[in-house]
Amino acid sequence: MRAAPNTRVQKMEGLPGDLNSELWGLHNTGQDKGTPDADIDAPEAWRITTGKREGGPVIAVIDTGVQLDHPDLDANIWTNPGEIPGNGIDDDGNGVIDDVHGFDATLNKAYVSTKHSHGTHCAGTIAAEANNDEGIVGVNHHAQIMPIKIFPDDGDSATAATIIRAALYADKMGARITSNSWTGGGYNPVVRDVFGSSEAFHVFAAGNDATNNDEVPSYPASFNLDNSVVVAASDRNDQLGYFSNYGKKSVNIAAPGVAIKSTVLDSKYATYNGTSMATPHVAGVAGLIASEFPDISNQQLKDRLLFGTDAKPQFADRV
């Protein structure tokens, strides 16, 4: 016989009531022909922290906007502490009047609403509230989601100028993390410089073209910034999503992005596919890390994300 330490283990208790079986990306027990533990190990993380609302890291969702009054999100929407609602004055002097809950970079004014569900879906994965008798739970039970709108209600593309305004606003207003589920536009040195010089940590989607980013760059993923990670999509069996871009040198990590259920407009829920869905899983984990370690540097945050992964042989030539 061998001698070994008499260590202790803990049983899994107190899982959120809204951690339903469709949320395989958070907790995969083999449901729907999945592979057990092909997930982000959210319950294990929640034993350490479930995120932090008051004084916690601000996570900017740079996307289509977020439904502010969605019952699974409203408690976790960022509120600008320097702005007095509805008085028509730029109280905090940041150049935007009444930006109480974020920024509309398409119109260069306070964020109010959206007609697209994409950003709301991303926000739900990051921080749908736990145990509130609503549909799902996010990676963070408690958080501060800052909506930043870069896509107009009547279109599905954003200009470089809009993206620059969005990134500058996020940095100016203290976002610790940004979640970026968008691609395209080619290489733009000013966009790269704005994100690269930011104090925030940026999570970028790898893209949905099923191509190798090492050979055919996809931006902003291919900016190769020290203060960022690039995310491919995995499925419930720890395989690369059929649509997902990849790149052994240029894509850092894979996360659940196939059949992801989350919040959408009109206080509803829907299931989407995409590296857009994988990205908020990683942004959510970054939020948990920054909640537990508020003084962590961007390099330390990146190291914890990358060295905390499960290395899978099927991804050895992909990320």
- Distance in angstroms (rounded) separating the CA atoms of residues 161 and 191: 8
Q: How far is CA 189 from the centre of its chain?
A: 24
Residue-by-residue DSSP string for the chain: ----------------TT--TT-TTT--SSGGG--TT-S--HHHHHTT--B-STT--EEEEEES---TT-TTTGGGB---TT--TTSSS-TT-SS-TT-SS-EETTTTEE----S-SHHHHHHHHHHPPSSSSSS---S-SB-EEEEEE-S-TT-S---HHHHHHHHHHHHHTT-SEEEE----S---HHHHHHHHT-SSEEEEE--SSS-BTTTS--TTGGG--TTEEEEEEE-TTS-B-TT--B-TTT--EEEE-SSEEEEETTTEEEEE-SHHHHHHHHHHHHHHHHHH-TT--HHHHHHHHHHTSPP-GGGTTT-
Q: Are strands 144-149 and 103-104 parallel, antiparallel or unpaired?
A: parallel
Assess whether 181 carries a catalytic annotation.
no
Which of 118, 121, 142, 281 is flagged as catalytic?
118
Catalytic residue among 117, 250, 276, 291: 276
Say whether 63 is catalytic: yes
Name the active-site residue from 39, 63, 98, 235.
63
Is 141 one of the annotated active-site residues of the chain? Answer: no
The catalytic site residues sit at 63, 118, 276
